[in-house]
Amino acid sequence: MICVLSGGTGGAKFVDGLRQVMPAEEITLVVNTGDDLLWWGLYVSPDIDSITYVLSGMLSRERGWGVKGDTFLCLQAMGQLGEPTWFHTGDRDLAMHLLRSRLLAEGKTLLEATAVISQKLGVKARVLPMSNSRVETRVDTPIGELSFEEYFVQRWYQDPVKSVRFAGASDAEPAPGVIDAITNADAVLIAPSNPVTSIGPILAVPGIHDALLHTRGKVAAISPIVGNAPVAGPAGILMEAHGLPCSIAGVAHAYEDFLDVLICDTRDSRAAEVLRQTGLRVQCTQTIMRSAEDKAALAREALSLVAPSLEPASDTSFRRLDRQP
Ligand code: GDP
């Protein structure tokens, strides 16, 4: 079993590769829920949605979020009614939010609701929210504290960031199965996700950091930072606000307590050489995922470093095991 800690965009791209090179049934995902929001009264969990969509073959790879081929008629109609429209939910995407919200209103936990939806969409991997409790990523800016989606989507991450906190984390518990999935994994992979606002909230849930210290498998992280800049998004700004340099050294520092291998891009080979002097194992490879082949190659490389026994002998594609609606 492989356990993957993930956010939404970079995480989904990496998971898209992983599902090509190993059976989805052997993957457990622990997914960030710090970005969750109530939108038009519906409970939206952006990172769980992206991971569920990629695993069910529904993700729009062009956008990197939402359902491929979706339409936005409801969004348009809500705009006509004077409702906010900055968070773009497609019409098919709304079905996910409606069903999850109903399941939660009926008393199901987020974990249970996620399992019901996964099952209905034919997802074979196990998708676990990091916690059933509400943990909210809050970004402090000169105009006040914003939720992550307000900072990122509504305001295009233009505001200077003073600090980031995870409200509710200290009282949260990991969702059932999370600690076991990490502790008993053959390997733990930290997706190329934002270390502060995607992996940070997961690590802030009491017990998860400890599980990573004690897992029997090796822990590898793929750097979302290439050549001292994030591949996309505000990771650099947020890392600096968190006291971490925007570099592979900053990524290594964020995970230093439990990291066995850092996988970084060949463009960072000089920085990798410096980092190796600290005793960390650093592997350079092509980490920019544009095509399905790039994603599969990166996933294969990550597996070969931490779980060679799980590495497929040939180019076997396991993608067909997943239902493609
Ligand atoms: P979010 O929840 O949407 O913020 O998604 P993630 O945290 O999972 O992903 C965002 C991170 O993915 C950003 O910091 C990007 O730098 C990183 N990222 C996106 N595409 C790639 C890629 O092709 N390669 C690598 N190495 N990182 C990527």
pLDDT digits (tens, 9 = 90+) for 164-186: 999 999 999 999 999 999 999 99
The string of pLDDT tens digits covering residues 70-127 is 999 999 999 999 999 999 999 999 999 999 999 999 999 999 999 999 999 999 999 9
Amino acid 322: pLDDT: 38
Amino acid 320: pLDDT: 37
Rounded Cα gap, residues 275 and 161, in angstroms: 27
Residue given tokens 């034919």 in the structure block: 122
**Residue of 153, 157, 154, 230 whose CA lies nearest to 195:** 230
Is a pLDDT exceeding 80 seen at residue 313? no
Q: Is the CB of 129 under 6 A from ligand 1?
A: no
Which of 70-74, 200-204, 221-225, 315-319 shows the lowest per-residue confidence on average (mean pLDDT)?
A: 315-319
The residue whose CA is least distant from atom 21 of ligand 1 is: 10
Which of 112-121, 276-285, 315-324 shows the lowest per-residue confidence on average (mean pLDDT)?
A: 315-324
Q: From the CA of 95, how far away is ligand 1's center (Å)?
A: 26
Q: Is the CB of 195 under 6 A from ligand 1?
A: no
Listed in order, strand segments (DSSP E) in the chain are 2-6, 27-31, 37-39, 42-44, 126-129, 136-141, 144-147, 163-167, 187-190, 218-222, 225-226, 229-230, 261-265, 281-285
State the closest ligand 1 atom to the C-alpha of 289, by its place in the atom list counted from 1: 23
Rounded Cα gap, residues 182 and 214, in angstroms: 9
Q: From the CA of 179, how far away is ligand 1's center (Å)?
A: 24
Assign residue 122 a region (left: φ > 0; alpha: ψ between -120 and 50; beta: otherwise): left
CB 212 within 8 A of CB 136: no
State the closest ligand 1 atom to the C-alpha of 9, by its place in the atom list counted from 1: 5
Is a pLDDT exceeding 80 seen at residue 271? yes
Amino acid 279: pLDDT: 96
Give the mean pLDDT of 218-239. 97
Long-range own/partner contacts, residues 206-211 (CB < 8 A, 24 or more apart): 206/169, 206/170, 206/172, 206/173, 206/174, 207/173, 207/174, 207/178, 207/179, 208/30, 208/130, 208/174, 208/178, 208/179, 208/182, 209/257, 209/258, 211/174, 211/178, 211/179, 211/182, 211/183
Beta partners for residue 148, in sequence order: none
DSSP 8-class letter at 168: T
Q: From the CA of 119, how far away is ligand 1's center (Å)?
A: 26
**Residue of 38, 49, 39 whose CA lies nearest to 11:** 49
Quote the tokens at residue 237.
């700004």
Q: Is the CB of 45 under 6 A from ligand 1?
A: no
Rounded Cα gap, residues 211 and 280, in angstroms: 20
Rounded Cα gap, residues 206 and 47, in angstroms: 20
* Ligand 1 probe mutation, 31, 194, 255, most atoms within 8 A of CB: 194
Would you say the C-alpha torsion 8, 147, 203, 236 has a positive or negative sign? positive
Between 314 and 162, where is the model more confident?
Answer: 162
Amino acid 321: pLDDT: 38
Q: From the CA of 7, how far away is ligand 1's center (Å)?
A: 8
Q: Is the CB of 287 under 6 A from ligand 1?
A: yes
Q: From the CA of 222, how far away is ligand 1's center (Å)?
A: 10
Which of 83-87, 139-143, 254-258, 307-311 shows the lowest per-residue confidence on average (mean pLDDT)?
A: 307-311
DSSP 8-class letter at 131: B
pLDDT level of residue 216 (50, 70, 90 thresholds): very high
With 0-12 / 13-18 / 19 or more C-beta atoms within 10 angstroms meaning exposed / middle / buried, residue 245 is middle
Amino acid 304: pLDDT: 96
How many angstroms separate the most distant Cα atoms in the chain? 60
The string of pLDDT tens digits covering residues 113-136 is 999 999 999 999 999 999 999 999
Q: Is the CB of 297 under 6 A from ligand 1?
A: no
The string of pLDDT tens digits covering residues 190-202 is 999 999 999 999 9
Residue given tokens 């992550």 in the structure block: 148
Amino acid 308: pLDDT: 81
Q: From the CA of 231, how far away is ligand 1's center (Å)?
A: 6
Q: From the CA of 64, how far away is ligand 1's center (Å)?
A: 10
Q: Is the CB of 147 under 6 A from ligand 1?
A: no
The residue whose CA is least distant from atom 26 of ligand 1 is: 224
Is a pLDDT exceeding 80 seen at residue 317? no
The residue whose CA is least distant from atom 24 of ligand 1 is: 288
What are the structural domains, with CATH classification, of the chain? 2-38+124-132+170-322 (3.40.50.10680)
Amino acid 324: pLDDT: 36
The dihedrals phi and psi of 128, each to the nearest 5 degrees, come to: -115, 125
Q: From the CA of 18, how far away is ligand 1's center (Å)?
A: 15
Is a pLDDT exceeding 70 seen at residue 249? yes
Amino acid 138: pLDDT: 98
Amino acid 311: pLDDT: 59
Q: Which amino acid is at 215?
A: T
DSSP 8-class letter at 150: I
> How many of the other CB atoms lie within 10 Å of CB of 130?
31
Is a pLDDT exceeding 80 seen at residue 309? no
Listed in order, strand segments (DSSP E) in 33-178 are 37-39, 42-44, 126-129, 136-141, 144-147, 163-167
Q: Is the CB of 246 under 6 A from ligand 1?
A: no
Is a pLDDT exceeding 60 seen at residue 315? no
CB 299 within 8 A of CB 312: no
Rounded Cα gap, residues 152 and 37, in angstroms: 13
